[in-house]
Structure 1
Amino acid sequence: MSRLEGKVTLVSGGAGGIGAAIARAVAAEGGQVVIGDLHDAQGETLAEEIGPAATYVRLDVTKPTDWESAVTTAVDTYGRLNTLVNNAGIANFGPIDTYTHADWDAVIAVNLTGVFNGMKAAIPALKEAAPASIVNVSSVNGLLGAPWVPGYVASKFGVVGLTKAAALDLGRYGIRVNSVHPGFITTPMTAGASPDLTQFALGRAGAPEEIARLVVFLASDESSFSTGAEFIADGGLLAGISGPPPMETTPAETTDRVARLPGQ
């Protein structure tokens, strides 16, 4: 496959979970990928697995200098940077009345300020390589609230707004900016969680590779007229609560009930 032939992608949080799936997918589609993460051994192992098309760099997304080094690595190693994928993220838990300022600061620093830091560092290189793409990994909780994760929800909603603002600023340079919204995906981050999957239209959790395929689309020229938009892969969660039908009827019984509705 060669959908990303000649394109270079930088992925934050790229050593495991969704990020690792994105790195593998980029290389499988003919692109080169710089894997940024704090998990050095895991990231280096992944880069070795992928081969010459991948390079690992240590990246703390809360540090602008780390971002600058990561972008420089991409340009020096592969000659350009075409796509930035802001994937790194964390979650912490607690009801808002006991949620601490330290909890808030930690999750906002990674999930929202980290995205801002990445875009600021990458924009000069993306302008040089335009047309280019930024993909910000938000969450279904960037569109839907949830209890016990106030910082996470706020940060992921913030990514949506930041994506739209950046899309309006950067379109003139040929840089597209979109957000991706995964639902419940089986990753190390979600290990131990047990959502009621019967409430999802598809009745199952998602796989990292399913999100990676969406990111490849947004990194490729196939999405050349898409910017400032939300791309959802949530198994139907936002469509509504799924489950068995409210009543068991035959088609004839259903027609009869409709015919006898008040006012009909």
Structure 2
Amino acid sequence: MPQPVAIVTGAARGIGKSIALTLARRGTAVLVADSSQQGRQTVDEMKEQGLEAIFRQADVSVPQSVRQVVETAQSHYRRLDWIVNNAGISAFKPIDEISIDEFDHILAVNLRAAFLFAKFGAPLLRQSPQAAIVNIASTRALMSEPHNEAYAAAKAGLLGLTHALANSLGPAVRINAVCPGWIATENTPALSPADHAQHPVGRVGLPSDIANMTAFLLSAEASFISGQAFVVDGGMTKKMIYTE
């Protein structure tokens, strides 16, 4: 079977970078799409490891930019098998302080972009016998704390978009979502033993935890799974919390 081709958005760092590396190490050609030039460094690192990857700078909140990413996959690889919608931003502000433009921009990057990649990518995806999309949502789609209305709304919207697309694009394309919990990335402050201990599994998550689940959902082993959302959070959302 030909080498699969995947677009991974927001892949310059953190979870997105881990997903890109994991897929590439498993034999996938990866198109790294990111608004930052740091995505080019990610691709350079991948190529140093002998992995197949290219970089396309993109603002996923702009429809034409999303279309150009898909066109790059078509022109460079002549195929597209998988899309991972990982790009995301947040702004944790009181509702009295967050502007309407900020709210709309967060929805555009976190939610509308996934719709656009499905819309523009569908013609290519339908040509693949293994086509699949994974949307990276968040446990904040299911629970919240104060001042995260825009982010929570966008991530919850991703879950609805996921099952809608699964029905609209199936059976040609499978679509699933992953809801990460607390994941320690390169920007996470130092963690304490208490941070780890509050997770039923005994540790804070790693980007690789999300990358491994994503790779599974894209694989043929998950061929009977579509329209689902999988929480990967070390058990945190299943833990009852009482005030002492």
TM-score (norm 1): 0.84
1:45 is aligned to: 41
Structure 2 gap segments, 5+ residues each: none
Which one-letter code corresponds to 1:49 in the other structure?
E
The one-letter amino acid paired with 2:3 is G
Residue 15 of structure 1: aligned partner: 12
Q: 1:102 to 1:88 in 2, by over 3 A?
A: same
> How has the CA–CA distance of structure 1 residues 84 and 92 changed in structure 2, closer, same or farther, with 3 Å as cutoff?
same
Is 1:239 the counterpart of 2:214 in the alignment? Answer: no
Letter in 1 for 2:23: V
> Secondary structure of 1:128's match?
coil
Change (3 A) 1:200 1:169: same
The residue that corresponds to 1:228 in the other structure is 227
Pairwise CA distance, 1:5:
6.7
Q: Distance between the aligned counterparts of 2:153 and 2:241, measured in 1?
A: 26
User: What one-letter code is carried by the residue in structure 2 that aligns with 1:213?
Assistant: N
- 8 Å CA contact retained: 2:56, 2:69: yes
**1:147-178, CA deviations, whole angstroms, 9 ceiling, x for partnerless residues?**
22110001100000011110011113x20000
Instruction: Report what 1:183 is aligned to.
Output: 181
- Given that 2:61 and 2:105 are in contact with CA atoms closer than 8 Å, whether structure 1 keeps it comes out as no
Query: 2:155, 2:220 → 1: CA distance?
Result: 26
| Structure 1 residues 70-219: aligned runs within 5 Å | 70-172=69-171, 174-188=172-186, 190-191=188-189, 196-219=195-218
Q: Structure 1 residues 96, 193: closer, same or farther in 2, change over 3 A? A: farther
Q: Does the CA-based 8 Å contact 2:195-2:203 persist in structure 1?
A: no
- Cα distance, 1:80 vs. partner? 0.7
State the 1:189 CA deviation. Answer: 5.8
On the 8 A contact 1:12/1:87 being kept in 2, the answer is: yes
RMSD: 2.2
Contact 1:198 1:242 in 2 (8 A): no
In structure 1, list runs of 5 or more residues that go unmatched.
247-264
Q: d(CA) in 1 for partners of 2:108 and 2:189?
A: 23
CA–CA distance in 1 between the matches of 2:5 and 2:93? 39
Deviation at 1:187, TM superposition (A): 2.1
Q: 1:110 deviation in Å? A: 0.7
Q: Quick check: 2:66–2:113 contact (8 Å CA) kept in 1? A: no
2-structure distance, mates of 1:98, 1:180:
30
**For residues 209 and 224 of structure 1, what CA distance do their matches in structure 2 show?**
22
- Between stretches 21-30 and 140-149, larger displacement belongs to 140-149
TM-score normalised by length of structure 2? 0.90
> Identity of counterpart residues, as a percentage?
38
How far apart are 1:70 and its partner, in Å? 1.0
What is the SS of the residue equivalent to 2:170? Answer: helix
